[in-house]
Amino acid sequence: MTGCAGIGTRWALSGSILKYYLYKATKAVEFYRPVMYLFFLAQGLSFTQIAILEALYNLTTLFGEIPTGYIGDRVGRRNSLLIGTSIIALTLLGIGLSNSFLPLAGLYVCWSMGYNFRSGSEDAWLYDTLTDDLSEDEFARVRGRGESVALAVGAGAAVVGGYLGSIDLSYPWFVAAGVTSIGIVVLLSLDDPETYKRTNSEALSLRQTVGIVRDVLTRRQLRAFLLYYYVLYAGVTYLVFVFLQPIFETVVLDLGVAQSQVESLLGWFYAAYSIVGAVLSYYTGTIERTVGLRTWFLVLPFAVSGALVGMYFVPLLALPTFLLIRGLSDVTRSFAGQYINDRIETLGRATVLSAMAMVSGLAVVPFQLGSGVISDTVSPLFALAVGGVVLAGGSGVILLWQEPIGEKQG
């Protein structure tokens, strides 16, 4: 009888994970990403106004992460994901219909808030779901497979988005809104994990939540990991995504590609970009077993740093470097999620994960400003090279102070 119950639990769990993969496939960002800034420029926005939109997004992330994480802990992981996904779908539709700066500014705030609701709750739901079956050690592998699904779908979406954008730059936003809406249907078929239901989440106060976050951040080793990955590594590698398009354009033009072909090539490059990420993410579990979290995090910052510096001296290296760093980013994010989740409790989990995202979002701001000044003064390639030097130097200092990767607590 017990065996039958166990089989039933495993069947339900695998069904939930399959639905998780389907939900990941509806994230739809690649439809609009290859033409995103072209769309804004076509609406008459200046580069300064685009920069203000990005700043509004980051500030909303900064101030919204802990409150939305707290709501996610109170109302449930699934409900928080439903709220966030609904906001994002409506926002994408609104962006496609907008044609001026002020509406876009308001929509950018909503867009960021939607992702705030999803950022901590998504990983918290997955980890607690796996905990139901005592499979929490599989978090990195399952999350990696989920990212692989999203990226594989995104590869096709990037190509489709490029062609849709050539017809009308608003079409990719409308299609992305429709695909994202499918995620709402998927989420409605899910339930919160039993591990979460057994916690006394209704009695969780905001003061208690802040106390939980403070307790986590005052643990020396977790604080070291926060600085090492969520601040330094995430801040520097974010610049790669910011400068990809202008550097790509410079490199392919130097290779003799016509200016009129740059946009279509970008769509195909983003597709390749997603495929590399999908392949590496699919093997997240294998990488974890073969390399190990400790070796991965100790070696990765210095390998990425060398690649960023090398690009400055050999610009052609930018193309494979962008592909590699894109692929590594999702694997590394899964490993970071595994590492943090293993060291925090179920109660307040979504808030703690949101706090990590908040710190990372805050850390990006000085990197953005500094790299912008350096890019205007010298070049984007030089800015990334400086970022590589900062990454290697900062990682070395943190390692001298406190090794950020410790053993899992029992």
Q: Where in the chain are the domains?
A: 10-401
Classified as helix, coil or strand, 45 is coil
pLDDT at 307 over 90: yes
Q: What are the C-alpha distances in Å from 36 to residues 6, 186, 237, 329, 371?
A: 48, 27, 20, 21, 21
Classified as helix, coil or strand, 147 is helix
Which pLDDT value is given to residue 164? 85
Widest distance between CA atoms in the chain: 72
Label residue 28 by pLDDT band (50, 70, 90). low
- By residue count, the chain amounts to 410
pLDDT at 20 over 80: yes
Alpha-carbon span 190 to 199, nearest angstrom: 19
Alpha-carbon span 383 to 388, nearest angstrom: 9
Label residue 2 by pLDDT band (50, 70, 90). very low
Q: Report the candidate in 357, 266, 290, 348 with the shortest Cα–Cα distance to residue 33.
A: 266
Question: What is the residue-averaged pLDDT of the chain?
Answer: 81
Question: What region, left, alpha or beta, does residue 348 occupy, with left being phi > 0 and alpha being psi -120 to 50 degrees?
Answer: left
Angle between helices 349-377 and 47-75 (to 10 degrees): 170
Q: What are the C-alpha distances in Å from 40 to residues 31, 53, 85, 180?
A: 15, 10, 23, 21
Backbone angles phi, psi at 220, to 5 degrees: -55, -45
At 195, list the tokens: 């591990």
CATH of domain 10-401: 1.20.1250.20
Which pLDDT value is given to residue 407? 63
Across 263-285, average pLDDT: 81
pLDDT at 9 over 70: no
